[in-house]
Amino acid sequence: MTDQRFDVRFDAGQADARWQAAWDEARCFEADSASPKPKSYVLEMFPYPSGRIHIGHVRNYTMGDVLARYKAMRGFEVLHPMGWDAFGMPAENAAMEKGVHPAGWTYENIATMKRQLKQLGFALDWSREIATCDPAYYGHEQALFLDLYAAGLVYRRESAVNWDPVDQTVLANEQVVDGRGWRSGALVEKRKLNQWFLKITQFAEDLLAGLGTLDGWPDKVRTMQENWIGKSQGLQFAFDLSNGEIVEVYTTRPDTIFGASFVAVAPDHPLAQGVAASNCEAAHFIAQCKQGGTTAAELETAEKLGFDTGIGARHPFTGEYLPVYIANFVLMEYGTGAIMAVPGHDQRDFDFATKYGLPIVRVIAAEPSAADAPLTEAEAGDGVCVNSGFLDGMAVAEAKVEVIRRTEADGCGAGKTVWRLRDWGVSRQRYWGTPIPFIHCENCGVVPVPKDQLPVVLPEDVDFSVPGNPLERHATWKHVDCPQCGAAARRETDTLDTFVNSSWYFLRFASQPADKPFDMAEVAQWLPVEQYIGGIEHAILHLLYARFWTRALAHVGAVDVKEPFASLFTQGMVTHETYSRKDGPREIYFTPGEVDRSGTGATLKSDGQPVQIGKVIKMSKSKKNVVDPEDIIADYGADAVRWFMLSDSPPERDLPWSEAGIEGCGRFVQRLWRLFGQFDGSATGDNTALARKTHQTVAAVATDIEALSFNKAVARIYELTSATEKAAPSATRNEAIRTILLLVSPMMPHLAEEGWDALGEGGLVAEAAWPEVDPAMLVEDEVTVAVQHMGKLRDTLTVAKGLPKDQLEALALASERVQRSMDGAEVRKVIVVPDRLVNIVT
């Protein structure tokens, strides 16, 4: 007897809540490290608790959820945890702007976002939930930091930093936009401060080599990391200066040395500082440079500016003196802080030389005959040396070797390997971060906080009424006794860069003892993460820092693994068109919910007047082209939203949000529900074609899910659904319906649970096994052959694979449709292509 629930539409609102409660009660998704099952660790990059989840989160976590549920169905013990990357400037900004405490603001946001994630039915192990702002987490981070300090991987030194004079904090290069602080808009200054560093450069070679083992990572991400690490081999040598000093430069292109037309030094290079000490104009120019952009990308595109020091640098081979400039595009942090400028073959140098009327000489050409061809821009290509004295005619590689050989023989330089990667400055002058566990004592110097005094907890009574770090001006918190000599001392008031928090969280997810950061043996059960999923925007910093931390912890004997993430997937963004209207010079944006869309136009609901429809771009709060998942769930249910996230677009590409698309997904939910209701327990009989289609679909969907090709899996389920709907009732059809229910259960878990229960299967589908595949059913023994008359399709035949030509011809000629088309005409020729085609010519 059919369950009465099938008599009405599937009620997503009731079913979603009921089955989410059932999963919680059964503790379905809690991972057991002691389980004898093979382990599978599926992890999406954990979110920042900004207030509400967005559709981008939904897509990211739906992909991971499908894989986690599938792995459980295949017999794995699955770890699929969730937590919160909860420290950072937005919470302090909220404290300053809204008069709230960062902790209260953060935990309120966590509660909201957790509720929203639960509404989507994700198979998450909430028993392992962590928030990086919890002392129970960051206290262990402090302990690990001290372990790295003891191993010589943490140190403190004076360093040039980007300083925001309004927010009174150090900014990472990425937080400086057009020379201004990303939040305050203030002109950023270069300052020298004592900063804490992690010695990531010690692992540069290993980090680079390790990329070659990451076959499960996208090539583009590995390339981005390789470029960021930036191993280069070249020449470091010294120019003799006209003032009796020398200046050392490093170049990766010693083959272009005869094209050098000037030398440039960074504004904070000792040579520049020496000139500025006696030259007001030079000092003014350096001050201007400190207010410009500080990232390599910004310096690449900014106007190239320089100050002629009046000093000459003697060319080591020609003896000619080249002018020495202080230049805004040279960074002290790279190489020696001074460069040999070759305008003919470096665009920055070309732009600078053009601005200041300096020589531009071609020294590399495709062939010797092109030596005198004019240069309209720098040419970085390969070729042979020209206009280069003893190098003329040599290939680039040969010339590099020869120049290095001669400078080494002359004692003025040497071949050298240089890295772009710099040690990681982790000091931040902020409150809402992990306190750095050190104490400054007049007698003992810098002293680590004893581990039995961890965690060093942030004080709650802080004042955000004025800019700057509240820890620095707190009345009592920073005043402590030295743990070594007992004298009055002060705590370190800098906190750690939030990237530190996310560099080891995956280890804490795997193991959570109270007395230490993690248990090495338990971590070994789960690591490396089998599948990591997150945005391409984290391709360099987060992923590189996580790889470094894992290596550093292996170095101190805390873990047995170097690479934390075996496979990485970077999903595309969810996009939406924008809606806006001009208000004088301002562009006012409206949310999709405020707009009525009709045909090719759109109007504002509040006044009925037209609004401009903009491009389809990444959803963003500033452009208001965001869709609130909670509203969509309320209208269509969690499963329709999940299904939409998996449909149409390949997961690595952007997914345009479409109202018609989500409506279609909602209709498919109801279509499946009706199909489940057609399960007929009394039906008998076989349908070989449907059975074969069912087994083939099970095998193909499994392959697609494992490859994260969710859109392909969705397409196959649509095909099997259509084939099942068309089939007559039979035992085979019942099995196809049951199989479809299991196939969609990782994608539409609430619908699947409701159907599983209504069919009387017993237990939870979340704990059911993946359908078995009969290998014999994967072999096609029937084919569909097209039958044409005079080249036009008239019929199709389903026949045994490999049927002889004469039998195919006989069947085709016997077709009623073909007979009607021939209308008694004489057959002149029959063309047979086995297993594919019969064409009858009359």
Cα four-point dihedral sign 820, 826, 829, 835 = positive
Taking each continuous run of H as one helix and of E as one strand, the counts in the chain are: 25, 37
Are 156 and 197 spatial neighbours (Cβ–Cβ below 8 Å)?
Answer: yes
pTM of the model: 0.85
Q: How far apart are CA 434 and CA 189, in angstroms?
A: 25
Are 676 and 6 spatial neighbours (Cβ–Cβ below 8 Å)?
Answer: yes
Beta-strand relationship, 782-789 and 837-841 = parallel
Calculate mean pLDDT across residues 98-111: 95
Nearest Cα residue to 49 out of 125, 99, 116: 116
Return the H-helix or E-strand segment holding 125.
strand 125-131
- Is the pLDDT confidence value at 325 over 80? yes
pLDDT computed for residue 462 by the predictor: 93
Are 305 and 289 spatial neighbours (Cβ–Cβ below 8 Å)?
Answer: yes
Q: How far apart are CA 322 and CA 264, in angstroms?
A: 10
pLDDT band per the 50, 70, 90 thresholds, residue 169: confident
- Is the pLDDT confidence value at 174 over 60? no
pLDDT computed for residue 800 by the predictor: 84
Q: What is the pLDDT of residues 401-418, one digit of tens each?
A: 999 999 999 998 999 998
- Is the pLDDT confidence value at 290 over 60? yes
Peptide bond into 749 cis (omega under 30): no
Are 110 and 86 spatial neighbours (Cβ–Cβ below 8 Å)?
Answer: yes
pLDDT computed for residue 178 by the predictor: 73
- Is the pLDDT confidence value at 364 over 70? yes
| 43: number of Cβ within 10 Å | 24
Q: How far apart are CA 396 and CA 572, in angstroms?
A: 40
Cα four-point dihedral sign 728, 733, 738, 744 = negative
Question: How high does pLDDT run on average in the chain?
Answer: 93
Q: How far apart are CA 52 and CA 111, in angstroms?
A: 10
Are 337 and 330 spatial neighbours (Cβ–Cβ below 8 Å)?
Answer: yes
Are 749 and 121 spatial neighbours (Cβ–Cβ below 8 Å)?
Answer: yes
- Is the pLDDT confidence value at 677 over 80? yes
pLDDT band per the 50, 70, 90 thresholds, residue 184: confident
Calculate mean pLDDT across residues 353-360: 97
Q: How far apart are CA 627 and CA 622, in angstroms?
A: 13
pLDDT computed for residue 83 by the predictor: 98
Distances (CA, A) of 720 to 6, 457, 672: 21, 57, 11
| Region label for 826, one of left (φ > 0), alpha (ψ between -120 and 50) or beta (otherwise) | beta
Q: Output the six-digit token pair for 606.
A: 């509040």
Calculate mean pLDDT across residues 808-832: 93
- Is the pLDDT confidence value at 489 over 80? yes
- Is the pLDDT confidence value at 801 over 90? no
Among 127-131, 232-236, 705-709, 748-752, name the one with the lowest average pLDDT: 232-236
Are 748 and 672 spatial neighbours (Cβ–Cβ below 8 Å)?
Answer: yes
Distances (CA, A) of 665 to 638, 643, 645, 705: 11, 6, 10, 19
Q: What is the DSSP letter of 193?
A: E
Q: How far apart are CA 517 and CA 381, in angstroms?
A: 51
Among 43-47, 755-759, 813-817, name the one with the lowest average pLDDT: 813-817
- Is the pLDDT confidence value at 182 over 80? no
Calculate mean pLDDT across residues 474-487: 96
Nearest Cα residue to 103 out of 133, 132, 83, 82: 133
Are 714 and 651 spatial neighbours (Cβ–Cβ below 8 Å)?
Answer: no
pLDDT computed for residue 300 by the predictor: 61
Peptide bond into 470 cis (omega under 30): no
Distances (CA, A) of 325 to 194, 292, 308: 29, 17, 5
The strand pairing partners of 250, in sequence order, are 236
Q: Spell out the residues 6+ positions from residue 409 whose beta carbon is closer than 8 angstroms to its own.
A: none
- More reliable by pLDDT, 180 or 706: 706
Q: Is 581 exposed, middle or buried (0-12, 13-18, 19+ CB in 10 A)?
A: middle
pLDDT computed for residue 48 by the predictor: 94
Q: Output the six-digit token pair for 86.
A: 């909860």
Gyration radius (Cα) of the chain, Å: 34
Calculate mean pLDDT across residues 514-530: 98
pLDDT computed for residue 585 by the predictor: 84
pLDDT computed for residue 198 by the predictor: 97
pLDDT computed for residue 72 by the predictor: 98
The alpha carbon of 298 is separated from its chain's Cα centroid by a whole number of angstroms, namely 22
Q: Give the chain's end-to-end CA distance (angstroms, integer).
A: 56
- Is the pLDDT confidence value at 296 over 60? no
Nearest Cα residue to 637 out of 4, 14, 116: 14
Q: How far apart are CA 334 and CA 179, in angstroms?
A: 19
| Region label for 185, one of left (φ > 0), alpha (ψ between -120 and 50) or beta (otherwise) | left
Among 51-60, 260-269, 308-317, name the one with the lowest average pLDDT: 51-60
pLDDT computed for residue 619 by the predictor: 87
Q: Output the six-digit token pair for 257.
A: 């040395």
CA–CA–CA angle 296, 301, 307 (5° rounding):
85
Nearest Cα residue to 290 out of 195, 193, 187: 187
Are 408 and 373 spatial neighbours (Cβ–Cβ below 8 Å)?
Answer: no
Q: Output the six-digit token pair for 106.
A: 């953060």
Beta-strand relationship, 574-583 and 655-656 = parallel
**Domains contained in the chain, CATH given:** 31-132+502-570 (3.40.50.620), 139-199+424-499 (2.170.220), 231-419 (3.90.740.10), 575-667 (no CATH), 678-778 (1.10.730.10), 782-841 (3.10.20.590)
Are 167 and 189 spatial neighbours (Cβ–Cβ below 8 Å)?
Answer: no
- Is the pLDDT confidence value at 334 over 80? no
Calculate mean pLDDT across residues 446-462: 97
| 271: number of Cβ within 10 Å | 21
Nearest Cα residue to 758 out of 15, 2, 19: 2
Helix (H, G, I), strand (E, B) or coil at 642: helix
